Amino acid sequence: MPGDQHAVQCQGANGVRRHGCVAQAHHQGGALHRQQGLQLRAHGPDRPLEKVRLPLPEGGEVNGEIAALGLAQAPEPDRAILVGVEWRDNAWPLDRSLDELERLAHTAGAQCVARLSQRLVKPYPKSFIGSGKVEELCGLVHRMDADVVIFDDDLTPSQQSYLEKAVGEPVKIIDRTALILDIFGLHAQTREGRLQVQLAQLQYLLPRLRGMWSHLAKEQTRGGIGSRFGQGESQLEVDRRLIRNKIAALRRELKQVEQRRDVQSKSRIESPAFRVALAGYTNAGKSTLLNRLTGSTVLSQDKLFATLDPTTRSYRLPGGRGMTITDTVGFIQKLPHGLVDAFKSTLSEVLGADLILKVVDASDEDYERQLEAVDRVLDGIGAGERLTLTVFNKIDLLDSVDRLSFRRRYPEAVLFSAQTGEGLDDLVDRIAREAAATDVLLSADIPYREGALITLVHEQGTLLHEEYLEDGVRIVVKLPARIAPRLERYRTE
């Protein structure tokens, strides 16, 4: 929380605590990143304590006093234990799901030191995992000197509270949703992105306030004579009310942002340009594809959820037709519903597209499951029936046998490498063909006074015939369906 003091401490496997500095943290990173942004600089042995001011994600800063130790020393990452459950109807193998959870933890700045798993038919209401596994987890936490335990499934507030008491302080218990929210909080750059993440974080936090203020239970108003002028609301009730008010305020702000986005989207919808949206599993290479296609420099990293905010770039197809291409937030299995709701305005960019490019990492052995996860999210936001084109990216990592297998299994898909540019011409050609498939063939006599309309026809249409008459231009042209109504009054049969 803003204004909290956090002692930057790291604990190695030998159990010795190494103290860095006590800092005033002012940022909105999650549980795993309270120590980020602190850097210990090398100084000579005779240098005194130095007051420093270091940047943190989202514009925050840290004030601290750094001891002149003579050697640079950075805070160690949180040591994490991953816990997964193998259900009868698992969509993903447990080991693959935990591999992905480990990548998420690494993106959040944690080091995974152990894994724990159990087969269950259904979760235990009290502890999620069995009592024997809880005891095993407690022992593992102490042996591995863990700082955080991350569950691959969602925990109820009561389950999280029980497990925290079982393992003891200061070890944190979080679930997959909390981890993803932590990453989103770090990577959100725009005002809209930060508002969306804050809303999802507070919605997640609200039911988990229960029991956090039990030591203040005596402050609750008691009934009876002389108690009607008591101390009023308990601290828990105050916090809940404050969070509800903040959620309401964030929704109002997002509503205003959505209205501005609707205006921008409306202008793009009315634009004659063909609209393309990139959708796919996180780290499938959507941003790299956007950069390769348009020559832009959008941030692209080999990290999960490196890009959260939608980015739109323009591109001109062969023949001169204009196109816009929008990079959107990546999807993932078990994507929290709160995030889907919070990012609905961002995901609306997909709904407004003429063509959705489903970008798939062909080098990932779980590409089929990832593609299914993307389809589920698209169905969930109402984009399941939109025109789509599957693009298998990263084919530079495949051998000739695998490439041939992809071509046989997915004859309508495009094989492409955003890293090397291989398959770029094929991708552009397929997009141009999809754009042309929606065109309308018409003939019209346009008067010379409609110069802007004549220019629009030349820029966005494919001219099949053009004849200059005394009072205008006679054309036969294939035009995008959105432009055709503008020529209706000049149309000839």
Q: Please determine, for residue 360, whether its predicted confidence score (pLDDT) is greater than 70.
A: yes
Model confidence band, residue 342 (pLDDT cutoffs 50, 70, 90): low
Compute CA distances 323 → 203, 295, 316, 419, 452, whole Å.
38, 14, 6, 22, 19
- Is residue 220 scored above 50 in pLDDT? no
b/e per residue 353-390 (b: at least 16 CB within 10 A): bbbbbbbbbbbbebbebbbebbbebbeeeebeebebbb
Query: Residue 473 above 50 pLDDT?
Result: yes
Determine the pLDDT at residue 3.
39
| Span 238-245, average pLDDT | 86
pLDDT of residue 428: 94
pLDDT digits (tens, 9 = 90+) for 152-210: 999 999 999 999 999 998 899 999 989 988 888 777 777 777 888 888 888 888 888 76
Q: DSSP 3-state assignment of 262?
A: helix
pLDDT of residue 299: 58
Cα 224 to its chain centre, rounded Å, is 52
pLDDT score of 123 more than 90: yes
Written as six digits, the tokens of 36 are: 């980020």
* pLDDT the model gives residue 261: 66
- Rounded to whole angstroms, how far apart are CA atoms 242 and 248? 10
Which of 89-98, 312-321, 354-363, 457-466 is modeled with the greatest confidence? 354-363
Which residues, including other chains, have CB under 8 Å from residue 211's CB and lie 6 or more apart?
161
Number of Cβ within a 10 Å radius of residue 396: 15
pTM over 0.85: no
What band does 487 get if pLDDT is binned at 50, 70 and 90?
Answer: confident
Share of the chain above pLDDT 90, in %: 32
- Least confident window among 158-162, 294-298, 384-388, 391-395: 294-298
Bridge-based pairing state of the strands 388-393 and 414-415: parallel
Residue 413 has pLDDT above 90, yes or no: yes
pLDDT level of residue 296 (50, 70, 90 thresholds): confident
**137 pLDDT higher than 60:** yes
Percent of the residues in the chain that have a pLDDT greater than 70, as a whole number: 72
Q: Is pLDDT of 134 > 70?
A: yes
**Other Cβ atoms within 10 Å of 237 Cβ, number:** 15
62-76, 136-150, 455-469, range with greatest mean pLDDT: 136-150
The number of beta carbons lying within 10 Å of the beta carbon of residue 95 is: 11
Q: In the predicted model, is pLDDT for residue 245 greater than 50?
A: yes
**Which whole-number Å values give the CA distances from 470 to 401, 415, 455, in the listed order?**
62, 51, 18
Model pLDDT, residue 174: 93
